[in-house]
Chains A and B, each alone.
Chain A
Amino acid sequence: AQSVAQPEDQVNVAEGNPLTVKCTYSVSGNPYLFWYVQYPNRGLQFLLKYITGDNLVKGSYGFEAEFNKSQTSFHLKKPSALVSDSALYFCAVRDILRNAGNMLTFGGGTRLMVKP
């Protein structure tokens, strides 16, 4: 079985400060890892993904994530937070045991609040 844990329900950060949203995973074999963001009253939007290669992945809106195999983590980061980054963030891992489709297992979500 595979799973994703987002240990923080909410992260608060001041505008201009760096932010980190944490994610740890458990899979069999090598993971495909994703971050999605959900703005109020919207569906989820893709931010970035790790498939293979460089452990530091860059994505949309200035976000990046670092894959750490030894710690089974894939934390989302941004050097300088904006108020407009306030949203719900989901980490997800691809289910490599299933044969069909591209099913993702999602974490519980972390609400990011950026204050002016």
Chain B
Amino acid sequence: DVKVTQSSRYLVKRTGEKVFLECVQDMDHENMFWYRQDPGLGLRLIYFSYDVKMKEKGDIPEGYSVSREKKERFSLILESASTNQTSMYLCASSGQGGQEKLFFGSGTQLSVL
């Protein structure tokens, strides 16, 4: 089975801290994504990557950056965490092609105090 693993299930950070969320997939997928999930707003795309060292902004990239140094790993970075970044963060991966489905990790619930 395809596995997308997010390093932390729950995370509590202080305002202003630098936060790293890690995601690893084991299916040699080209595409990887970071979404945040908020009640009533569904999933909103933060960043995605279609190849190593390649990245593109999604719908809400402000306050975030990403890193993809290896094909299997995609990191989301909050340079200076703020309380409005408290959310559920979901990583996903997929193969190439518009018909491909996304495989999701279990999510990281981040609380910024």
A44 to chain B, nearest CB (A): 4
On whether the beta carbons of B4 and A49 are closer than 8 Å, the reply is no
CB-CB under 8 A for A43 and B48, given A103-B33, A106-B43, A107-B42: no
On whether the beta carbons of B94 and A44 are closer than 8 Å, the reply is no
Within 8 A of B (CB), among A70-116: 90, 92, 94, 96, 100-109
Which residues of chain A are near B95, meaning CB under 8 Å?
102
Interface size on B, as a range, is 20 to 34
Q: Would you call B112 an interface residue if the criterion is a C-beta within 8 Å of the partner chain's C-beta atoms?
A: no
A26 to B35, CA, bound (A): 21
A-B contact count (CB 8 A): 72
Which residues of chain A are near B101, meaning CB under 8 Å?
34, 46, 49
On whether the beta carbons of B41 and A102 are closer than 8 Å, the reply is no
How many residues of A are counted as interface, with CB atoms below 8 angstroms from the partner's CB atoms?
Answer: 28
Residues of B within 8 A of A (CB): 4, 30-31, 33, 35, 40-45, 48-50, 54, 56, 58, 90, 92, 94-107
**Closest A-B pairs by Cβ, 6 of them:** A43-B104, A106-B43, A108-B42, A46-B101, A106-B42, A44-B104
Residues of A within 8 A of B (CB): 4, 6, 9, 32, 34, 36, 41-46, 49, 51, 90, 92, 94, 96, 100-109
